[in-house]
Structure 1
Amino acid sequence: MYFRDMKFPQIANRASRVLLLASALPLLFPAFSVIEAQAAKDSAAAPDKGTDKGADKAADKTADKLPPLPADAHTQQSAVIDGKTLRYTVTVGSLPVRDKEGKISGEVVFTAYTVEGENRPVTFAFNGGPGASSVFLNFGAIGPKHLLVGNEGDSPSDPATLSDNPGSWLDFTDLVFIDPIGTGFSRSTVPEAESKKQFFSTTPDIEYLSRAVYDWLLKNNRMASKKYLVGESYGGFRGPRITHYLQSQLGVAMNGVVLVSPYLNPTLEDNGDLSPIPWMVTLPSITAAHLEREKQLTPEAMNQVISYTRGEYATDLLKGHSDPEATPRVVKRVTEMTGLNPEFVKRSGGRLETGAYLREAFRDQGKIGSVYDSNVTAFDPFPYSPDQKSNDPILESIIAPTTTAMVDFVTRVVGWKVDARYNALSYEVNRLWDGGDDLRKGSVEDLRESVSADPKLLVLIVHGWNDLSCPFMGSVLTVDQMPIMGDLTRVAVKEYPGGHMFYTRPSSRDALRRDVMEMYAKH
């Protein structure tokens, strides 16, 4: 997710929405989301730690008093995948993070699933936020166990029951899920000001997480394994940068990268008053959600949507009032495509702002759609407010079950006994995050350089059609502008029914598995 990414209230308006699950806090919810507003209140109420030496000393003391994390714990499990029983080892443990002087400043907790056998590939998985743990990819998408969560009608108080995941990747690759500092059970052992410098900004985040990958490989004698990386949302922003840093600085080359609903290009939606691109990025996802509600969502239908978006829609938006018929044409076609109220579309000039759309689409039901998947809804507790005041429907419902399931799994099933809070989504990390200009650069440059440097590197970018936090059209337009470096299919974009976490749909999760297996088989 992208707190500003996926798993946070997401952008109330389009400019803010620059997300997400694609950006950094500020990018994800740039608008000034509900989360950021609350963070501002909390910050205003709290003492200024930057000028309070007593607070710094207290933080140092707290860091010194942190009890040590347990030694790595292991357990044996099995799951039925692709009709076969697979036996595997689960390991929960930690890796130290050291500062430039070699002192431990943090501890990264990982959950690894490994199967005995020679020459097994290993895949490292990251979620986003910033502030999201890896539980979403683990129990939602590719781990051997699955938690039913994130779909329309799911309740946060439903039993957090794990079942075998037929969409798991474990039968063809070992899996290592990494929780960045401040998420899951991973933690900083230095004061807040130092944590911000070492962990909660764009470049340091890439550097210490890359080192965590290196250290896990070294610790487990897996340097010779084939290596892959999967990142979701802001984890998709991390993906190309970690790949390039490992490749060019730490001397570890990835064989392939899978970017799930990635936040690749933060500036793609800038300047919507002049450029048609911001509106081109979101119209297909809004249309896909309507087609799904009408049970007409097919690849063929979406091809027509994409063709119109790239062609007549973009052209008419650029014409403006130079062609008196351009805007009426846009309004008529967009109304037909989206099923929205004609007056709503007319007032917007066919330029559909995300926050307004999420309220308008379900207004007659008193509900609001999720920016991660607009067909997942919740009742709007503030229907008469001019702006959305509540958190995102998916974010509101997903934290309880994922936290309950992961804490029970780690402490009871695996036996890694730890007395600490588990952060599935850390609003504190999101609040402290400093993306800056480095975040605004995105990670497309690193993607291009990694692909250029390694003629065998394969990249698969996957999206759900309904996602408005990191819309698929953004990746389509971005990849279309990349030079062809060898085989055109080395960097591929694929879409599936669903939203930001399209893998909550069994058919989409299975399709993702097949496409990834095909990519891995090429090596």
Structure 2
Amino acid sequence: MKAFLKIMLAAAMVCLPVNIVYGGEDAAKATVKEASGEIPEAKQFETSHSGTFNGSKVKYTATAGDTHLKNEKGEVTASIFSIAYTKDDVKDPASRPVTFFFNGGPGSASLWLHMGVFGPKRIDVPSDATNAGAAPYNVENNALSLLDVTDLVFIDPVGTGYSKAVGKGEGKEFWGINEDAKSVGDFIRQYVSENRRWNSPKYVGGESYGTTRTAALVKELQEGYNSMALNGIILVSSIVDFQTVDGHSADNPEPNIFFLPTFAATAWYHGKVDKTGRTFDGFIEEARQFALNDYMLAIFKGNRLSETEQEAVLDKLSLYTGLEKSYLKKTRLWVNEFRFMRELLRDEGKVVGRLDSRYVGEEQDDAGETFTADPAGYGISAAYTAAINDYMARDLKVEKDERYQVLSGQPGRNWNWKTSDGWTGGYPTLGPVIAKGLRQNSDLRVYVANGYYDMATPFFATEQTFSQYGMDTSRVTMTYYDAGHMMYVHKPSLEKLAGTVRQFIQDGGK
């Protein structure tokens, strides 16, 4: 499991748009509000903007800045950086939803969902999974932003972006499943109180580990007599039950089953399976059924499997993975995602990506068992880093003399994975928390976005989570995308994701 948790650090990575007309950004000067309280000084940078989103003209205020969190003694312990977009001249706040977004890691800032899909500007990277290269990049007005239907708040948890432990605080107080949920929950409560939004519809959403955080926030915010009931949660590339995805551990059989349909999708995409007489959807469903039945039985039978049974399973396993039977026999039917990423295109001298298996890269040689770096990560990371830093400086007028931490390994290396005082080890499991939240809040709804080519958080593992714990699936909506972990880098998936989340919020999550 330790190896798995290290690998999960990387998971944070991770339509035809109508014209947008922005007014006044170049001429406007940021209004800077500075608190005179504890060190460090909390600063907020306000700018006025207008844009057209989904055909609706919206005037809005962008507020980028720091929020101090305090302990029970009133001592400052953390400074949380966030970027909020609020529609101007809203007469009744109860009629205007507010949605809080963050990314994952743990250790990632919120730039991916912000600059990739939901914010008013987005970075345009190649849709066909090719490398984005070097600057200059195209940062464009985002007609697909959700600002026509909801205010937006993008949160950087402690240890990411400009957020950090300060004063009486220490990083370890914020780095853990429960610790992180408490600090982000405290920020949300403080934001809602300071901006008088308690009676507004409220949504919380995250990507990758951000979905783990979202699940933990369902408990943190909704339980107890000082509760805040949520209207909906948005899970992009979900991971809430970790035992389903620890595919490179030699002591956990489950991920072999739950990665298989993603392997099948990847093999199909790269032309490593026989497509004759098949459709993509039909092939994936075949892989699901094989994984749930013959393959699951074979995995759990282990060396009790007869030679005849093994041969039958090998035939199908080779079909759905695109890997040679001889190789699969050597692995004793266990195929972890890192071996698969290296083996699938080995004869072409290429590896496939983890965050998005449409991407391919080259290694120093072709003999390794895994790649040295994820081509889906290094293919876009520089573009996103440039985009957020340039946007904050030019458009939001943010003035900081420190580095914006896009993805830091420090929180993850020091993360407390305990979910309760009685936790004695094993894999964090938060599916039951979502199920309980649905039972205790009759208006809570769940939206889940899955990428077919996501080998960080495979879609079949998410399906497994939502088939358990007495989950009320009538209030769960799942959609699938022809892309990977950050499905919004693919233009058709970007349009679909933005449109689906917009409808989810417009419908009140129902």
Per the TM superposition, whether the score is higher than 0.5 is: yes
TM-score range, shorter chain: 0.7 to 0.9
Judging changes above 3 Å, is the alpha-carbon distance between structure 1 residues 226 and 479 closer, same or farther for their aligned structure 2 residues? same
* Counterpart amino acid of residue 207 in structure 2: E
TM-aligned CA deviation for residue 16 of structure 1: 6.4
Preserved contact between residue 355 and residue 376 of structure 2 (Cα < 8 Å): yes
Judging changes above 3 Å, is the alpha-carbon distance between structure 1 residues 164 and 307 closer, same or farther for their aligned structure 2 residues? farther
3-state DSSP class of the match of 1:71? strand
1:480 aligned to which of 467, 478, 485 = 467
Task: Tell me how far apart the structure 2 counterparts of residues 437 and 170 of structure 1 sit (CA, whole Å).
Answer: 35
2:41 maps to 68
TM-aligned CA deviation for residue 385 of structure 1: 4.3
1:214 maps to 189
* Counterpart amino acid of residue 388 in structure 2: M
Preserved contact between residue 465 and residue 496 of structure 1 (Cα < 8 Å): yes
Judging changes above 3 Å, is the alpha-carbon distance between structure 1 residues 423 and 274 closer, same or farther for their aligned structure 2 residues? closer
Matched, 1:513 2:491: no
Judging changes above 3 Å, is the alpha-carbon distance between structure 1 residues 69 and 394 closer, same or farther for their aligned structure 2 residues? farther
Preserved contact between residue 288 and residue 297 of structure 1 (Cα < 8 Å): no
1:183 maps to 160
Matched, 1:289 2:276: no
1:449 maps to 436
3-state DSSP class of the match of 1:290? helix
Judging changes above 3 Å, is the alpha-carbon distance between structure 1 residues 355 and 224 closer, same or farther for their aligned structure 2 residues? same
TM-aligned CA deviation for residue 331 of structure 1: 1.4
How is 1:360-379 mapped onto 2 (pairs within 5 angstroms)? 360-379=343-362
2:392 maps to 410
TM-score, length basis structure 2: 0.83
2:219 maps to 244
Preserved contact between residue 16 and residue 28 of structure 1 (Cα < 8 Å): no
3-state DSSP class of the match of 2:228? coil
TM-aligned CA deviation for residue 425 of structure 1: 0.6
* Counterpart amino acid of residue 254 in structure 2: I
1:230 maps to 205
RMSD: 2.8
Preserved contact between residue 167 and residue 513 of structure 1 (Cα < 8 Å): yes
Deviations 1:392-415 (A, max 9, x none): 223334332222211111122111
Matched, 1:104 2:61: no
Deviates more, 1:238-247 or 1:320-329: 320-329
How is 1:107-186 mapped onto 2 (pairs within 5 angstroms)? 107-116=79-88, 117=90, 118=92, 119-149=95-125, 152-186=129-163
Preserved contact between residue 17 and residue 29 of structure 1 (Cα < 8 Å): no
Deviations 1:454-478 (A, max 9, x none): 1111011221011111111111111
Preserved contact between residue 166 and residue 510 of structure 1 (Cα < 8 Å): no
* Counterpart amino acid of residue 41 in structure 2: P
Deviations 1:437-490 (A, max 9, x none): 6593332222122111011110112210111111111111111123154xx321
Matched, 1:28 2:8: yes
TM-aligned CA deviation for residue 141 of structure 1: 2.1
Task: Tell me how far apart the structure 2 counterparts of residues 386 and 450 of structure 1 sit (CA, whole Å).
Answer: 42
TM-aligned CA deviation for residue 102 of structure 1: 1.4
TM-score, length basis structure 1: 0.82
Judging changes above 3 Å, is the alpha-carbon distance between structure 1 residues 489 and 512 closer, same or farther for their aligned structure 2 residues? farther
Judging changes above 3 Å, is the alpha-carbon distance between structure 1 residues 423 and 156 closer, same or farther for their aligned structure 2 residues? farther
Preserved contact between residue 27 and residue 266 of structure 1 (Cα < 8 Å): no
2:63 maps to 91
TM-aligned CA deviation for residue 326 of structure 1: 1.9
1:44 maps to none
Judging changes above 3 Å, is the alpha-carbon distance between structure 1 residues 66 and 159 closer, same or farther for their aligned structure 2 residues? farther
Name whichever structure is richer in helix by fraction. Answer: 1
TM-aligned CA deviation for residue 190 of structure 1: 4.4
List alignment gaps of at least 5 residues for structure 1.
1-14, 19-24, 34-63
